[in-house]
Amino acid sequence: MAECPWNGCNRIRGIKFPKISKIGIGFYTGDAAANRKIFVGFRPEYFISRRVILGSAMGGFDKTLNMTVWESMNSTSGVRNANSIKFIDDGIEINNNGLFFEVNRQDYGYDWIAFTS
């Protein structure tokens, strides 16, 4: 029987996964605001967003607990952005005012998923 992180086990080929106790999914449309809060309903430990253009994902951003306060990683290029996403008690805060504006680009759609253990 194959191992999986979802059905009571927490290992795949020797990689240990945290147990997930909460999961949230959603969508937002970018409004180019300098700071914006996305409410998840809990403090995430892992956040993934994908920018959607005409129904296809055109890049995304990942945020984990082992990143600095405002840091996220561009999942397409692997580049870490020092001034973009911060975890807060009930979701995330997006900083669109720094050098990196792709996380809240005007009129772009963003699908997201958040986890906590």
pLDDT digits (tens, 9 = 90+) for 30-40: 888 888 999 99
Q: What is the mean pLDDT of residues 25-53?
A: 89
Two tokens, residue 31 = 């409004």
CA distance 20 to 34: 31
Sign for the pseudo-dihedral over CA of 59, 62, 67, 69: positive
CA distance 115 to 18: 10
Global pTM? 0.75
64-77 tens-digit pLDDT: 888 888 888 887 77
Residue 100 has pLDDT above 70, yes or no: no
